[in-house]
């Protein structure tokens, strides 16, 4: 498999020049803006003194480290862009104890997970300011994908918190941001190891989400789960496990919005899982692309099984059979407004967005704005606040268990 990857990788590395995205917070006041990022990770802690750092190995015995980081978003931070060298620099916050400063504690059991959610996250939710238009407070959980380190996860979560208005340009927290980091190896050639670790982490991710969802319901806060790439696999399976564990008539809502970015999960597997957990979430948004080289390779490594986040294996495949070319699918007609077709799932095509060289990390400011409308304003797709979305006809749903899938094209370069 590694030889196959090395043979293909030169074709994945080609990329073009793009216009830098706009600044997230213009002006001098943004220079000292910080975001408090809570974290949950089942990575093994590195021997680094009083500073919490986590490597790529699993905790042994299995358990979660739970704590927080203060992250500074500099004046050069741009919308959608994680810049480890300039824009975002983590600085660990420590607990004070009778013995002096010490890092946050390691917590392992389900009871301790619940205790952390109660003693740390609940007060943070209560202290957060509601959004300017009123309504409930916001809680965001970000779950990373393949080839991602702990620090990269914290930086990405801080970037999302800033770009989605959970922290204002003046540094005021309007919500709670949580980074969930499973033991991805952080190397390109660790795909199979990351697959196993993404499955391994479900035994901790599921109880963590369950405890957090209960607190959010009690505090009347909205819970939003955002997962990228292989992290979507861990999230989808965990949500299905939680749905299967409860009695149907006693199941309570687990999350308000579930957002999958470039999900690296088999379409057939997802179709089975979504039937279980869809009744327990408010809305599901899936961002897909026809230009995702990483998911194209994933499809090859999985014997040709179609990936959920690769548009070419769903919509475009059907269009090509009818003779429509790669560039023609965006010219399809608008969806007719039908009350019965307004389902709980939106698929949004972001092909052509400003992405990484693999086409696997979406960074277009228009996409950031669309995420902000979902999380900060709860704006449904098709409304004025989400103007860059253009409804498109998808025809029959490519999924057996999704009855009313709505399909949109994101108009890139809208900001």
pLDDT tens-digit map of 64-119: 888 888 888 877 788 888 876 555 666 666 554 444 444 454 556 788 888 899 99
The model's pLDDT over 376-392, given as tens digits with 9 standing for 90+, comes to: 888 888 887 787 888 88
Is there a contact between 181 and 83 (Cβ–Cβ < 8 Å)?
no
**Tokens 């979507």 found at:** 232
**Tokens 């590395």 found at:** 13
Please classify residue 55 by burial: count the beta carbons closer than 10 Å to its beta carbon, then call 0-12 exposed, 13-18 middle and 19+ buried: middle
Query: Rounded to two decimals, what is the model's pTM?
Result: 0.84
d(CA 371, CA 52): 30
The whole-number pLDDT of residue 331 equals: 30
Is there a contact between 253 and 280 (Cβ–Cβ < 8 Å)?
yes
The whole-number pLDDT of residue 132 equals: 66
Length of the chain: 415
**Mean of pLDDT values over 245-269:** 84
Residue 5 has pLDDT above 50, yes or no: no
The model's pLDDT over 156-193, given as tens digits with 9 standing for 90+, comes to: 999 999 999 898 888 788 899 999 999 998 777 788 88
Is there a contact between 183 and 201 (Cβ–Cβ < 8 Å)?
yes
Joined together, the tokens standing for residue 88 give: 């975002």
Is there a contact between 54 and 46 (Cβ–Cβ < 8 Å)?
yes
Joined together, the tokens standing for residue 381 give: 């797709």
Is there a contact between 348 and 381 (Cβ–Cβ < 8 Å)?
yes
């Amino acid at each position: 498999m590694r030889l196959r990857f090395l043979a293909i990788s030169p074709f994945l590395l080609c990329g073009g020049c793009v216009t830098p995205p706009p600044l997230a917070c213009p002006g001098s006041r943004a220079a000292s803006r910080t975001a408090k990022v809570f974290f949950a990770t089942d990575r093994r802690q590195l021997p680094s003194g009083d500073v919490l750092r986590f490597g790529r190995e699993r905790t042994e015995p299995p358990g979660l480290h739970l704590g927080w980081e203060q992250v500074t978003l500099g004046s050069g931070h741009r919308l959608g862009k994680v810049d480890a060298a300039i824009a975002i620099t983590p600085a660990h916050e420590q607990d004070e104890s009778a013995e002096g400063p010490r890092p946050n504690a390691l917590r392992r059991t389900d009871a301790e997970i619940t205790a952390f959610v109660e003693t740390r996250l609940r007060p943070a939710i209560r202290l957060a300011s509601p959004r300017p238009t009123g309504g409930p407070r916001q809680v965001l959980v970000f779950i990373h994908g393949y080839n991602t380190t702990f620090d990269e996860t914290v930086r990405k979560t801080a970037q999302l918190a800033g770009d989605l208005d959970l922290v204002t340009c003046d540094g005021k927290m309007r919500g709670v941001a949580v980074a969930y980091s499973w033991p991805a190896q952080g190397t390109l050639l660790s795909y199979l190891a990351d697959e196993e670790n993404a499955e391994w982490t479900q035994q901790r991710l599921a109880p963590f989400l369950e405890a957090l969802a209960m607190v959010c319901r009690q505090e009347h806060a909205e819970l939003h789960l955002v997962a990228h790439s292989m992290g979507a696999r861990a999230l989808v399976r965990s949500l299905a496990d939680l749905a299967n564990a409860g009695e149907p008539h006693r199941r309570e809502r687990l999350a308000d919005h579930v957002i999958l970015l470039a999900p690296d999960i088999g379409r057939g597997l997802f179709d089975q899982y979504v039937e279980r957990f869809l009744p327990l979430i408010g809305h599901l948004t899936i961002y897909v692309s026809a230009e995702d080289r990483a998911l194209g390779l994933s499809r090859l490594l999985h014997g040709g099984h179609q990936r959920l986040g690769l548009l070419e294996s769903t919509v475009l495949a059907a269009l090509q059979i009818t003779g429509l070319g790669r560039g023609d699918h965006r010219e399809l007609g608008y969806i007719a407004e039908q009350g019965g077709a307004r389902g709980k799932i939106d698929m949004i095509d972001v092909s052509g967005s400003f992405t990484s060289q693999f086409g696997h990390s979406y960074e277009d400011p228009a996409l950031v704005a669309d995420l902000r409308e979902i999380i900060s304003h709860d704006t449904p797709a098709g409304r004025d606040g989400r103007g860059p979305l253009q409804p498109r006809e998808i025809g029959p749903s490519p999924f057996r268990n999704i009855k009313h899938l709505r399909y949109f094209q994101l108009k890139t370069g809208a900001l």
